[in-house]
Amino acid sequence: MSLIEARDLSVRYGGHTVLSHVDMSIDKGEIVTIVGPNGSGKSTLLRAIIGAVPVASGRLIRDAGVSIGYVPQKLAIDPTLPMTVARFMSLPRRQHPADVAAALEQAGVPDLSTRQMTDLSGGQFQRVLLARALLAKPDLLLLDEATQGLDQPGSAAFYRQIEDVRRRLGCAVLMVSHELHVVMSASDRVICLNGHVCCQGTPEIVASAPEYRALFGTGTQGALALYRHDHNHSHDDGCDHDHGHAHDHAHDTGVIPLHQTTRDKVH
């Protein structure tokens, strides 16, 4: 039985469709990562799961009694709002100080409880957010680009923390990430999203899927191609040659997608 399952899920935002016909699920204890270009609906999928955006069609099935811990993409605390770490941990429900201390310990920041939230470094802040999510004793931890704004060692350390938490608590993890190299090593399963589910499976399967390569390329581990290919692409061209070169797109077999630009046509 999956903890969360999306069936034919579509989400619309002010008249345009952000997610269409998404099928995905996550099982107990899995680490699943969602990758995709900017604007591909990764964050929207997580926000739909927590109920922050309405579902336009399809179904979102949540197993009875599943507890979710959510770590948002960014949290800007207004400087006029005084907030100690301990007080933040007790929002919205008051928590026992021992539980707060244990959660901070698990997230790797045991000594911060009396500090002001606005005085924390980026890495400390994200760990406090993680600790607060752990207080819900989550069966499923949702992380929305939780390492945004951290440097490479910082984000690597953060992902190690996530794996450690998963090992200790046995919770499933569903996260959105831009950092493909980390994703590919740390995930049980990867979902490649671009408004719809392009492909999903183990990191090895996804990395070799033509859909994934069409989006991210191969040679650069995707880091460069990520920002170049945000147009819709077609899957049914059946070609499997290397798409990793600079002007790569998967349409040179004659299938011209709707959103193809003139630049692409000339090419």
Partner 1 sequence: MLDDFLIRATLAGLGVALAAAPMGCFVVWRRMAYFGDATAHASILGVAIALALSVSVFLGAMAMALLMALAVTALSGRGYAVDTLLGVLAHSALAFGLVAVSFLSGVRIDLMAYLFGDILAVGKTDLALIWGGAALVLALLTWRWSALLTATLNPDLAHASGIDPRREQLVLTLALAVVVAVAIKVVGVLLIAALLIIPAAAARPFARTPEGMAVIAVLVAGLSVLGGLQASLMFDTPTGPSIVCIAALIFAGSALGTSLRRG
Q: Which is nearer to partner 1, 94 or 247 (CB)?
A: 94
Q: Which is nearer to partner 1, 92 or 238 (CB)?
A: 92
Task: List binders of partner 1 among 46-85 (CB under 8 A).
Answer: 47, 50-52, 68-70, 72, 75, 77-78, 80-84
Q: Which is nearer to partner 1, 73 or 260 (CB)?
A: 73
Site string for partner 1, 112-151 (x = CB under 8 A): ----x-------------------------x---------
Return the residue of 16, 38, 93, 261 that touches partner 1, per CB under 8 A: 93
CB of 32 to partner 1, least distance (A): 18
Give exposure, 108-137, as e/b (b: 16+ Cβ within 10 Å).
Answer: bbeebbebbbeebebbbbbbbbbbbbbbbe
Residue 240 tokens, joined:
């499997």
Strand order of the β-sheet with 68-71 is: 68-71, 140-144, 172-176, 31-35, 189-193, 197-201
CB of 61 to partner 1, least distance (A): 18
Q: Which is nearer to partner 1, 118 or 234 (CB)?
A: 118
Q: Which is nearer to partner 1, 48 or 214 (CB)?
A: 48
Q: Which of 83, 142, 92 is nearest to 115 (CA)?
A: 83
> C-alpha distances in angstroms, 141 versus 30, 67, 102, 153, 257?
10, 9, 17, 22, 36
Where along the sequence are the contacts to partner 1 (CB under 8 A)?
Answer: 47, 50-52, 68-70, 72, 75, 77-78, 80-84, 87-88, 91-94, 116, 142
